[in-house]
Structure 1
Amino acid sequence: MNSLAQFSDFGDAALPPPSGLTRRQKAAIIVRLVLNEGIEFPIGELPAQHQAGITDAIADMRYVDDNTLQSVIMEFIAELEQFGLSFPGGIDGALALLGDHLSPEASAYIKAKHGRMGGPDPWALLSAQDPAKLAELLVDEAPEIGAVALSKLPSDVAAKILGNMPGAQARRVALAISKTGSVPPSAVVRIGKALADRMSDTPVVAFDTEPELRMGQILDVATSATRDDVLEGIAEEDEELAKRVRMAVFTFADIATRVEPRDIPSITRAVEQSVLITAMAGADAKSQAAVDFILNNISQRMADQLRDEVSEREKPSQEEAEEAMSQITSSLRGMEAAGEITLKSGAPEE
């Protein structure tokens, strides 16, 4: 397993192989091959960060050709042959290796010296977590706690945690590191276990946006009849929620109030002209203001051309018009997500 840990080490020391695969990807290939053969594979003996790295690599990869597979296997075998004797690494591995060869007194002394209180190493668990989440966890703690945590975690993880902290808090934690020299090992373990417990108690959130925003995005592309019916039903149950959902919904009729005039030309570049013409030709009294707003904020030549095309086109069905309007609003939503434009809030002006 030590050879696989080295194989999965994706630090700066690893040179890019001729195939272009990283060491982490090659380790993932070996793991996939062994598991595919039904062989029991003790991947759990690897450090947590290596387990996480290999898992990420397996998730990202799709397939490799036979030549690449054979090349990776031969390289792995060559690395195995270079090993003479390996050690478990870390005090836990040393204790497990020596086992009954140590006297009870010596075993107790070593465990006390290194603060080992049983159970998995909390720092290994914490080091595999998202640094941004760890930063959120440590912001609520005293700087001294954060200093101990950063001192125990791998340097690259600690640096990312500092980078995700507010500046003032990051400075206080950094200064507190100078005071960690006298912290006893048992206290370090207790801090690690407490932080790991808090991290495990954090609920996993399936959605990263508010419910009303998700509902708004769904209703954006629903037909007007469905949208109005759903909003009416929500209002009957929860008027406040209905107000928030209405603010989140962005329809063709909202273009005049929520899109900046300077961003209107973006619509003509992002949407086919036939779609614009269909939407404009199908506009009703409620959405006519959006049509006028678009025409007033593009070049005169293009506005005249669109007016002529709209006047010559047969009036589209409601379904055709709503589909065209939905394409336009979806394009605007996409540009907003890409940071190309900024939509105004849907909150009513006071």
Structure 2
Amino acid sequence: MTTAAATQFKTLTGTQKAAILLMLFGETTAAQILRNLTPREVQHLGTAMYSVRGIDQDTLSLVLEDFLDTLRRQTGLGFGAAGYIRNVLSAAFGEDKAETVISRIGQSASERPLEILEWMDAPSIAELLVDEHPQIMALTVACLDHALAAQVLALLPEQIQPEVVQRIASLNTVQPEALADLQQVMQRKFKASTTMRASQIGGVKAAARIMNFTRTATEARILKDIRKDDKDLMQAIQDNMFVFDNLIKSDDRSLQTLLRAVDNETLVLALKGADEGLRAKILGCMSTRAAATVRDEMEALGPVRLTDVQAAQKQIIAVARQMSDEGTIVLAGRGGEQMV
């Protein structure tokens, strides 16, 4: 193999290698594989497939050899695999995130309520929901990925948003009958057929995750309105939200990975509103030269609006949560628990 091929192989991500293998399998097999992936995974693989279209034959061979070598080293788990997987995921990510991952990989496509919504954009979903009862809105939004749910929530009428979040926070185990009713409501808009079972939907943590993806002004307004009706519920949601200050509990390696994904201007603005402990923690994860540059830029920036600082911090947290969901970093939450 050429040196160029070896160099190119080292730069390939796992997703890009998977994309190359997928194209080797042929259209029919590739289509069958894609049908078993989530919308997000399909998007990642699709993007990767475009990025490796010009791969040379030598690099392709290295990818195939790596795949075959991995297969040779695999051992069959046999019976008891479910318990093994649960234990490994719990040890790696904590109980909460493990349950989230298991709930996604342990259900067949037909068991995920309203799976069709995962393929729709936020405006389309909001349009479907705008004339529905708040409980229907809450159930539907709770079924969505949290980032998508936050976008849908922001597009619903402002006066109904606090009630929707309250109802999501009050949800727990939803019986098949309720999901069947929800499915019937959605069938008025599009044809779908799914097999439902009792599902864990909503709850305070789900409401908090959705709120983490909303804009600062929207977040403050919704929490304020919820507080009027239920102060304890508002506090419970707020306690489960991941805020910028929580980064101080994260390990250095995760922070270093996060910092590489954040532009310097956003970081400087976000640190203007951080306490000295968190500021020292973050700067300590950077090189001496980079940290000095950030300090100089902070001093040169002068007074800034609190809303601008909050927006920058929110932007960094959004990146952090996305990386956490992808397993790239681990975020330590309140009380030392891992965030999900």
Instruction: Give the TM-score band, short-chain normalised.
Output: 0.3 to 0.5
Structure label with greater radius of gyration = 1
TM-score, normalisation: structure 2:
0.40
Which structure carries more relative contact order (alpha carbon 8 Å, separation 6+)?
Answer: 2
TM-score, normalisation: structure 1:
0.39
